[in-house]
């Protein structure tokens, strides 16, 4: 289980296993489930929330994935991003670090305002608003 704070967009970018996969978000407003289909997206905005990756073996209920590994946190064009890779369970003949479920997490980063350290504005609460009339990329 990983803990996050604030507004993030979660996107499923890959799955290479026959088992169904999902991402489960638990926060102060309940539980949200993101199906493990590539391209599926879930936007989360809470002060504090947790993320668990799970798989569904054919003869069992949902089980936590064996390993979830956060990649490095990068920042580009006002978007903070991190890949999460996961291995649902160990299989004979596969390395323990085998990856079969991948998510991308993105968070808009509010531009620094000189003289206003730590100030939070609309971008921090609504990081993926559509671009404004000028075509600004701040919301992308």
Tally the domains of the chain.
Answer: 1
Range of the domain at 32: 2-112+120-125
* CA-derived radius of gyration, the chain: 17
Contact 33, 12 (CB under 8 A): no
Model pTM greater than 0.85? no
The answer to whether residue 24 sits within a structural domain is yes
**Assign residue 129 a region: left if phi > 0, alpha if psi is -120 to 50, beta otherwise?**
beta
Tell me the per-residue pLDDT of 59-101, one tens digit each, with 9 for 90 and over: 889 999 999 999 999 999 999 999 999 998 877 888 877 899 9
- Flag whether pLDDT at 49 surpasses 80: yes
Q: Any idea what the CATH number is for the domain that residue 39 is in? A: 2.60.120.400
The answer to whether residue 132 sits within a structural domain is no
Strand (E) or helix (H) holding 123:
helix 122-125
The answer to whether residue 79 sits within a structural domain is yes
Written as six digits, the tokens of 108 are 């808009």
The answer to whether residue 25 sits within a structural domain is yes
The answer to whether residue 103 sits within a structural domain is yes
The answer to whether residue 62 sits within a structural domain is yes
């Amino acid at each position: 289980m990983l803990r996050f704070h604030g507004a993030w967009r979660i996107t499923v970018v890959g799955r290479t296993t026959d088992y169904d996969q999902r991402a489960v978000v638990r926060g102060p407003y309940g539980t949200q489930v993101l199906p493990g289909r590539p391209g599926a997206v879930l936007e989360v905005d809470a002060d504090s929330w947790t993320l668990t990756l799970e798989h569904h073996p054919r003869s069992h209920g949902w089980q936590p994935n064996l390993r979830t590994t956060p990649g490095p946190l990068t920042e580009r064009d006002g978007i903070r991003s991190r890949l999460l890779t996961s291995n649902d369970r160990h299989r004979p003949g596969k390395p323990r670090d085998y990856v079969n479920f991948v998510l991308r997490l993105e968070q808009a980063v509010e531009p620094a305002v000189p003289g206003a350290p730590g100030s939070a504005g609309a971008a921090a609460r609504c990081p993926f608003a559509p671009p404004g009339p000028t075509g600004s990329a701040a919301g992308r």
